Each structure stands twice: as structure tokens, then as C-alpha cells.
């Protein structure tokens, strides 16, 4: 017999939980749950598991890089599925301690059950009912034992068969929904937000599939695409870089992800003239030709203002006495006055 099939304790994981939070996250969460159940480290009325990323790799996930494990742990924390703390006696020891937030897990399970039953109701409205035969199992009932799986016990000697059965007597169906193609979803999202039309081809999809294989989630890839689209789409110098091979490149993706996370936390500001603008903040475009022409007409020739910007600028110029200043100094002062007048006029227009 092959020593790969299987003479060592396997890793078990809920397929349904993997679909909800990602395969890597589900594996890590299940492993923490198992060791938390037998942990004697109790602080703040919780059981805790602690380990360095290096030891997680060495002892539990040798098939992953440390970066992949760290991303999975960070993802679980960001989703609220893990508490993290530091109970190390040595303050220099920054090893993290983890505890599963079972309330959040239960909420996920409840939402999944609600959605599943909602789908069942839709099936019934279409005159479709689930079959009751023992060989046609429901994916929800079959997949999940979210709190009781033992990561070190042998796999049960059962098989899972997904079938679609149709009988001529009562037209009974057992329907199981296929997992979406995450890479294709990412590509479709990218095309939608950019207005481009990249095709489902090997070269393009390779960059997306490689990042997914490294443990990044589809939502993380979409967030990076959103961030770089907001930053580059209207920038004539950078829009040419807005393509899958750049956005999802191996050497730059992690950096883009960190920047996109900060951008997302700040409310996803828009980028105008290469400057991030928060919601409610007013950014104006300065018409240099109009500004310089107005200086000659209003300051030098003492002409009459022709619009609200010029009215404000003329008033500010009078206060600052630029008509009596030397021309170079007057022009430099007029530049700042014109910017202030443009912003004030824009505020008045949106008030």
C-alpha cells in the first residue's frame, strides 16, 4: 500500500465551512478548535491555544508557506472568528494566543441554515421536493459537524456521493448547488469595474489562479482590483498598468493588498488628480489659463469680475493688497488666492 494513502492522522475539515470562509481558513480554524478543546490554558474565561507561525507550519501545515498561514490567521481575526491575545510571561515574546469565537461560528451556521432553507422553499415553489432515499443525502446535513470534528482521528469509512435523482412517478429531485468558479468570478468583477473585456484564457487566468492557490481569497483579489481601479483608471499614465498580469502579479500583490486594506478601512476614498479624496471633501480643478487671464484683467487692468470665482478672488486680492505689490510677488499671491476662491465657490455651490 502507498504510504500516502493514508497511514497518518488526516486533517478533517467541513466542506460547507470551507465554502463560507475559505479552505485555508477552515483548516486553521478546525485545528485551533481541536487543540482548544483539550487546552488547559484558561484566561478570561476562555481556553487558549498558542503557537508561532513557524511552529504552525512545522507541526501542522508543512505544505503551506509561513506567509499563507499568517494570512489565514489574519483573515480569521478580521472575520471575528478568532480572539487573539498575548499571555506570555516574557513581554518580549510576541507569540499570539488564539481562541475561537463560537458565537460568530454559530451565527455563520445559522445564516447558512436560513439560506439553505430559503433555497428549499424555492425548490418547493417550483414543484421540486428533496428525495428521502438514503443514497441521496442533503449537502447541509451531510457536510457539517462544525464543533465536533477531531483533527487527529482517522477518517470515517464512509463515502459521500452527490446525485441528482429524477423519478418518473413523482418528479422528485435532489439538487446540490455547485461551488462557484472563484477565479472566473474575480475576472468578471475586474472587467465590470474597469470596463475592460479580458477573456477567460490561460495567460490571464494564470495570475488569478496562482494567487488563489497561495491562499488569498477571491474577496481579497476583488478588493485589490477595486483599489487599483480607483487609483489608476482615470490616470492616463497608469491606466495601461490596470491589467490582470499587473494587478495580480506575484511580486506586488501582497503590497497592493496591504494598501487596499487601509484604503477600504478609510471608506474607499476616490482618487482625483492623483490625490485620495474622502467622502464630503471638495476637490477642485484649477484652470490655469482662466486664472492667469483673470489676473491681467482684474489685478492689472482693474476689470470687472465675470463669475463667482472672480468675485471672491477680487475681494481677497483687495484685502491682501496685491495691486500695490511687485508683479512677481503679486502673481504668486494670486495663485493661492485663486485656489481659495475656487474652493469657496465650489462649497457655496454644494451647500
| pLDDT greater than 80 at residue 49 | yes
Residue 161 near residue 135, CB atoms below 8 Å: yes
**β-bridge mates for residue 275, sequence order:** 272
| pLDDT greater than 70 at residue 155 | no
Across the chain, the runs of DSSP E, i.e. the strands, are 42-43, 46-47, 49-50, 82-85, 97-100, 270-272, 275-277
Give me the mean pLDDT over the 47-73 stretch.
Answer: 89
Q: How far apart, in whole angstroms, are the C-alpha atoms of residue 164 and residue 102?
A: 34
Q: How far apart, in whole angstroms, are the C-alpha atoms of residue 280 and residue 311?
A: 25
| pTM, full prediction | 0.40
DSSP 8-state code for residue 298: I
Q: How far apart, in whole angstroms, are the C-alpha atoms of residue 21 and residue 81?
A: 10
| pLDDT confidence bin for 270, thresholds 50/70/90 | confident
pLDDT of residue 2: 54
Higher pLDDT, 46 or 149: 46
CATH no., domain 1-178: 1.10.10
Q: How far apart, in whole angstroms, are the C-alpha atoms of residue 3 and residue 137?
A: 31
User: Hey, where are the domains in the chain?
Assistant: 1-178, 182-277, 288-350
C-alpha dihedral (22, 28, 30, 35), degrees to nearest 10 = -170
- Side-chain-facing half-sphere of 213: CA atoms under 13 Å: 8
pLDDT digit string, tens, across residues 181-211: 889 999 999 999 999 999 999 889 999 999 9
pLDDT digit string, tens, across residues 100-147: 998 888 888 888 777 765 555 555 444 444 444 444 444 334 444 444
Q: What is the DSSP string of 60-78?
A: T-TTS-HHHHHHHHHHHHH
Q: How far apart, in whole angstroms, are the C-alpha atoms of residue 270 and residue 176?
A: 41
CB burial of residue 6 (10 Å; 0-12, 13-18, 19+) = exposed
Instruction: Give 161-164's long-range contacts (Cβ < 8 A, gap of 24+).
Output: 161/135, 161/137, 163/135, 163/136
Higher pLDDT, 263 or 3: 263
Amino acid at each position: 500500500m502507498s504510504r500516502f494513502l493514508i497511514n497518518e492522522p488526516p486533517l478533517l475539515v467541513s466542506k460547507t465551512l470551507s465554502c463560507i470562509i475559505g479552505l485555508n481558513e477552515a483548516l486553521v480554524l478546525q485545528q485551533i478548535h481541536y487543540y482548544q478543546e483539550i487546552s488547559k490554558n484558561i484566561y478570561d474565561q476562555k481556553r487558549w491555544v498558542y503557537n508561532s507561525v513557524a511552529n504552525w507550519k512545522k507541526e501542522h501545515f508543512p505544505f503551506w508557506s509561513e506567509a499563507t498561514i499568517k494570512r489565514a490567521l489574519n483573515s480569521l481575526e478580521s472575520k471575528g472568528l478568532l480572539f487573539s491575545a498575548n499571555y506570555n510571561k516574557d513581554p518580549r515574546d510576541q507569540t499570539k494566543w488564539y481562541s475561537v469565537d463560537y458565537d460568530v461560528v454559530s451565527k455563520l451556521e445559522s445564516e447558512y441554515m436560513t439560506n439553505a432553507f430559503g433555497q428549499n422553499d424555492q425548490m418547493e415553489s417550483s414543484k421540486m421536493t428533496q428525495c428521502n432515499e438514503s443514497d441521496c443525502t442533503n449537502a447541509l446535513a451531510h457536510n457539517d459537524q462544525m464543533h465536533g470534528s477531531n483533527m487527529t482521528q482517522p477518517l470515517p469509512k464512509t463515502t459521500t456521493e452527490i446525485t441528482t435523482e429524477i423519478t418518473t412517478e413523482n418528479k422528485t429531485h435532489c439538487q446540490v448547488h455547485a461551488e462557484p468558479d472563484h477565479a472566473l468570478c474575480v475576472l468578471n468583477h475586474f472587467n465590470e469595474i474597469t470596463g475592460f473585456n479580458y477573456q477567460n484564457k490561460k495567460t490571464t487566468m494564470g495570475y488569478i489562479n496562482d494567487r488563489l492557490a497561495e491562499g488569498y481569497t477571491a474577496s481579497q483579489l476583488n478588493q485589490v482590483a477595486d483599489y487599483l481601479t480607483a487609483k489608476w483608471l482615470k490616470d492616463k499614465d497608469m491606466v495601461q498598468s490596470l491589467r490582470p498580469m499587473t494587478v495580480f502579479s506575484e511580486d506586488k500583490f501582497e503590497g497592493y493588498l496591504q494598501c487596499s486594506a487601509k484604503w477600504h478601512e478609510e471608506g474607499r476614498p476616490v482618487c482625483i488628480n492623483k490625490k485620495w479624496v474622502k467622502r464630503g471633501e471638495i476637490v477642485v480643478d484649477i484652470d490655469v489659463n482662466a486664472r492667469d487671464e483673470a489676473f491681467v484683467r482684474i489685478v492689472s487692468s482693474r476689470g470687472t469680475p465675470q463669475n463667482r470665482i472672480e468675485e471672491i478672488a477680487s475681494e481677497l486680492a483687495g484685502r491682501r493688497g496685491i495691486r500695490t505689490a511687485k508683479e512677481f510677488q503679486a502673481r504668486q499671491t494670486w495663485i493661492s488666492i485663486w485656489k481659495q476662491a475656487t474652493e469657496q465657490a465650489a462649497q457655496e455651490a454644494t451647500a
